[in-house]
Each structure stands twice: as C-alpha cells, then as structure tokens.
A and B are shown apart, each in its own frame.
Chain A
Amino acid sequence: MKITRQAFLALLAAAARAFSKPRRMAMAIDLSKCWKDRGCTRCAQACHAAHNVPRIPDRRREIKWIWEERFENAFGQESAGPAVAGAPVPVLCNHCEHPACVQVCPTGATFKRESDGLVMMDEHRCIGCRYCMAACPYGARSFNWSDPRSFLRTLDPAYPTREKGVVEKCTFCNERLARGQQPACVEVCPFKAMVFGDAADPSSAIAQLLRTRHAFRRKPELGAGPNVFYIL
C-alpha cells in the first residue's frame, strides 16, 4: 500500500492526539475559605517539611516555596479595598504559561515541562547566576546563599536536599503528582481552600471551578499567564 505524504501526516497527527494531550496543571485558592483561620500556616509547613526546605534565621537569606503576603503586596496597592487590605494571601510559583525565569536562564536549568506545564528546576545544572530571580515578577525563587543542610532540623530522606549556590522554588509537587497524589499544600489545608488539577481537561474540578467562579491572578498586565488563580 502506498501512503501519500498527506495521509502520513494526518496519521501522525492523529497518533499525537491520541497519545499525549498536554495537560496544564493549575491551582485555584479560595481566599474566603483560606481566611477562616488567618493565622494558619499549615500549607507552608507541610510544603517545607516535605521538600527539606531549611528554616534560615536570617530573614534576608531565607528560602521559601509557599508563603504569605499581604493582599495589597500580592495584588498591588490599589487592588485592595479596606475589606481585604492586610489579609494574608498564600503565594507560590505560578508555573506561568510564559515564564520569564525560563526565558532568561542561560543553561536551561529551569524549563517548562511540555507534558503538563510545570516549571521545573534542575539544581544540578544551575550555575547560580540568579538571573531567574531578577526576572521572576512574583519573587517566587530562592537562592541557597549558604549550605542549606546545616539549617535542616528534620530531614525527609525521601526527598533530595540542595547545596549552596543554586536556586530553588515550588515544584507543584511533581514527585507527588507522579505518585497520583495531590500537592502537599492542597492535601493539608483544613478548609479545602486549594483546588489543584488539569485545567485543560474540561471535566476536572479545577476547570469547572474556573468556569463558574470569577478567578483572578497576580499581575495580569505582565502577560506571564500565571497558573495559580485566586477566588474571592
């Protein structure tokens, strides 16, 4: 049988569709649920324990993957009316659609995974130039100014530690996703304020949530396309 070039290409395209429809992992944080306990920091604790993120006493050199910002600092001064000014907002890497950090990285040590949109970090390739920290508009990245291991009080042997001189950040828990689990912060939240899933799949909980509720993102004017959404 003779296959024409067109038929061959059509076949190829069909195969590509059947095998891998790229997913787009996203998170939505319902702030009204989050604010049921404004002092709660369980998400950050769970994340940092699961990923061996050290607690460094010098605040200027701290490492954080998910943390709390005041509403007006996360979304801009004039976005916060008196009802929300000062309220805590959990912030983390947005796993942007157009990540500035990936664009500027001179070695490809940080890259966007095609299959699900996660912005990943190869700490073994990073040269520690911190260009990504200058480029990220969300302050999502931390640098290991010194050896982080000496600041670890407990060590989870299931997850690697890092060394001095490289950058790190939230990974959307790719190691847990691979095991079919939800991210650590999503799982631990007592108010189920965080919803995580494949936004490209219309039947997923996150896709339905984004369809029905008004969701907003940080600094939409920059065009980074954050995949962390907030609902209020």
Chain B
Amino acid sequence: MGWSSKAGEKARVRVVIVGCPNVGKSVLFGRLTGRYVSVSNYPGTTVEVTRGIGRWAGRTFEVTDTPGLYSLSCITDEERAARALIMGGGSDVLLQVADAKNLDRMLPLTLQLSEAGLPVVLIVNMLDEARRAGLAVDLAGLGDRLGVPVIGAVLTRGEGVEEIKELLAAVGDTGTIQPLVPRYDRQVEAAIRAVEARITGNYGLRPRAMAVLALQEDPEVLDILRARELNWPLVSDLVVRMNQGSEPVRQRIPLVVHRLARRVVTRCLRQVGRPALTPGQVAGDLLLRPMFGLPVLVAVIYFGLYRFVGGFGAGTLVDVLDRTLFLSRLNPWLDRVVDGLFTGEAWRELLAHDYGLLTLGLRYAVAIVLPIVGTFFVAFAVLEDSGYLPRLALLTDRLLKPLGLSGRALIPLTLGLGCGTMATLVTRTLETRRERLLATFLLALGVPCSAQLGVVMGVLSARPHALAVWASAVVVALLAGGTLAAHLLPGRAAPFFMEVPPLRLPSLGNIWRKTTARMVWYFREVLPVFLAASVVIWLGRLTGVFPTVLSGLAGVCRWLGLPKETSLVFLFGFLRRDYGAAGLHDLAPGLPAQAVVVAAVTLTLFVPCLAQTVLMFKERGPVTALAIMGVVFPTAVAVGYVLSRVLSLVGGAAW
C-alpha cells in the first residue's frame, strides 16, 4: 500500500471529527474514509473512537471519529475520551460538525475550541432540515464572525463533502485569521490571568483555556494541575474563592460563552419561511404520548422482536442453516474428513464430533447465533436510526424509576436483548456511576440476549403458556432484583433528561452499514470466545474435570427437578450464555414442558456469558463484577427452584 511509504507518511494529515451527539459525525467519517462505522440517532452510541484512512488530492488523511462532545467541560466518560483525544495533540485540524437548526447550542464548543487555540473548521450540517424549518444560514457571515472556515453540508446526501475535502487538502496553506473568542467581565478576566500565569506545563490546550476550565472546577483539569503545577495551592485557592456565593464563576463562564454564541447566531440565522409540518414531525409528536406511543411499543415488540427476530431469525433462518446445512450435510462430512486426517481420538474430538471446534463451535456461531443476532441488529438499527429510542426512553422513565434507573437506561437494556456484552459497554452512556452499576447488574441477571431469546422462543413458542410462564418469571425476577438492588445501593435515583431528536425515515444504506459494522464487531469479539469455549470443553473432558463439575451441577439440576443432562447446558451456559441456550434447543424435544420452562428461566437468569463477564470486569472493576456474579448465581437457582415448586403444585392439568 502506497501510504506507508516515507513520503506518504510525511504528508499525512490528521483530522479529528468532533461535535455534539447526533449531528452527523459518523456520516462524515463514512464519507471521508469510505467506511461507515455506526450511524445512530441515539445520542451516545458512538462508543469507541474510530479511525480510518482517506486518500484524495494526492494526500493521505487519518480521520478519527470521537464520541459526542457537548462542550469542553466534560461530564460523561465518553466526553472525557473525546477531550483527551483533542488534548493529546494528535490532530492537524478539527472538523466540528454542527446541526444547522440548533446552531446556538453548537457554537459554544466552536468558541471554546478557538479559545483553546485549536484549528477548527465548522461544518454546518443538516441544511435540508434547516430549510424545511424555514431557516436560512448565512455561511459566509458566520465564517467572518467566528474567524474560522465554515462549510455548509447535507452529509447524508454528500453535499458539502467535496468542499470539505478540498479544504482539508489545503490544510496549512490557510492564512492566519483571528478567531472569535469569549471575553469575560473584569473580575473573571483577572482570575483567568492569575491562573494562567501559574500554568507552566503544556497540556495540549492554551493555558488560557486550561485556566477557564480550572475556574469551572473541571475535575480532570484540576487533577492535572494538582499533580503537575508547583503553584497549585494558589490556583486552588483562587478557584475555590471564585466559586463561592450566589453567582459562582462556574456558572458565569458558560453563560458568557452561550450569550456570545447567541449573538453570532441571531446575525447569521434567519427565519425566512414558515416551518413546514412534515409527516415525520406529526408522527414524532404523537409517539411522545402514551396513548399512541404504547400501542406502537407493543407493535414494535410483536413485529420487531417476536415475529422478525423470534420467528424469522430464530425460526426460519436457524432451521435452514442448522438443520439442512450443518446437521444433515456439513457436520457428517466434517466428521469424516477429520477422522480421515487424524488418527488420535483427542484430535478428532477437538475438531469434530459432538463438541468439536468445527462441528459445535462454528456451528453455533454460524447457524444459530448469526441469524438471530443479525436479525436483532437489523431491527435495532431501524429503531435507532428513526429516532424512536429516545421516545421509548421518555415513555418508560417512570416505569424504570423504581429500579433506580432513568429512561436513559432503556437503551442499553434494549440493546441487551441483542447482545449483553455490547450492552454492558453501552452503559457508559449513563451519567451516574450508580445507574451504570444497576444497569450492568440487570444485564447480568436476566436480560436475555438475542441468541438466548431466539432459542428460548424457538423452544417454547410451540407451547404459548410455557412462553408466558417463562416471560413472567424473568420479568418478575428482574423487577424484584432491580428494586432490591436500588434500595440497597446508597445514592439517589438518576435524574432523567434527554434530547428528543426528530423522527427520521431510516435509510436502507445506513441500516445495512450499521448492521454489518455491529456484526463484524460481534464476530471479532465473540467468535474467538466461542472457539475458546470449545477448547475449554475439550480440555475439560480430556482431563476429567468436567465430569466432576457436571456431577456438582447435576445436584443443582435434580433439586430443580431437571434431568441431569441439563447440567451440561448450564456449564456451557457460562462459557457462553447463548451457547447454553442452544444446548437447550438440542435437548428440549425430549423433556417435559415443565422442565423446559424451569431450565429456560434458570438459564436466562444464570451468570452472563464469558464475554460479558470479561467486559464487566473491565468496565466495573473486579470487586463489583464479582459481587454481581455472587448475587446472580444464587438468585438464578433460587428462582428456578421456586418456579419448579410452584409448577409442580399447580400440577399436571396445564402441562
């Protein structure tokens, strides 16, 4: 590849895309690098920093997409990640993407970036929506006033992309213009100068910007200064002093920045026509009301989850792939090939036969998990891209309050219905530690992932009352567990506030690119664990550890009134939760309905899969993760036990 040559290396331009959530950053990233990573209508699903390479005008551009950043004074982990990237100094130019309709909310960041001495280009995106709202943006005037390059765009249609590319290709050639920066009142300016004078280190931002952040009591900036500046005590005194009284400087500074932004916007954004009322707006407003929103929710669950993921994905597709492809053709053939190649029994067992890497590991991944997770990701992408999820969040906020959660938590919890591992990662978007912990706990306890859900529905849907029992048992366990955890955990319920984006018609291209990106992530993250799990099973059988574990679990199974073969399902269930569920799929036809329900419930509540456990350790720390596991395991067994007792008492009539 040409770009790794020395000359190419020199010419490489580092471009960092920043901006609020939901303004089109991912779309721009895709346009510049030719690759879509994740486009979303929900603020905050760009979880990881994404890098890509673009080439045009004979130069190479390293483009980085960052998580949403509202302002330089950060609140969430994601914002901190974005700011750390900017402060790290790894950029030749910052592209700030902004929503034209809400410029007054976007410009404070532009002003802050200019204040920090960073080279920023403002992309005024969504001009199509602005036009429909009857707004006209004076782009040239905006550029003159802000003193930074300004480009108008409709990124989804590719408008403005050429201009952006041209500008980037000419980076470094632009003359120096003086960007607009905020000026504060005399007292605040004096305080800024006093702090600035005591900053000696280089932190990637201008000392003035560091001083402004310090005066706003930015915890991270204060930590940096505390650790690295000799004059810290003087700075600290001043910061404390300036933040006393009824008008602390931490409130005065943002107000000044905002007023300046508003002044610029009133000059450059004009209402020229009447806002057109689009069908999307009407529908979007209706969905805010429970009277319409709740029936739509029921329809979404029925068609999206039950019919599409459960019926089509877990039913039709799994049948085709598993039964007609793997079980009747591929597996027998693989068994023969492996037997022909290897003589040792151990090798044969590792690769093929009942628990082999190919015949079990690959088969579960491709034939059972792929269609189910794939259909779920399609359904989720549609909901996400249409702007439905925040509406769902505001409708359900009240219901989640008793669990110590806010409506915001509904997004990771819903995503948990797809993949608990990914959902655990997305709990980062929640604002308080307490809420992140509670959501992680619920995900670990019993939010069934799509692989599990699909298999359970596949197994139980022939017996609707069994499905109902399973669903109620899991919901009750989640509600009870969540309520109890919320009571026991100190702290207050997380406040709920959320931006509600307009309802948009999702585009097929976005859904396709988003789904494939997630699938790639899933397989990169999960297929190795699948295969590792197969190796663990092989080792376990080879060394005789398994029979011991299994006989232990068999005791638990007996207690739950289950045949001892289900112990295998539980063991696999830890290695991968869906793996276990898939094992249940194989076992179910030979079991009585009651046993299937008890097994399905216990398995759903059982410890999360290996991948999710690993992520839980990473995100929440070992102590918390172990505590969660310690609660989840006995809870699962206890609920299974109670359920089996109740079902036996209710008796055979129903079964």
A and B assemble together? no
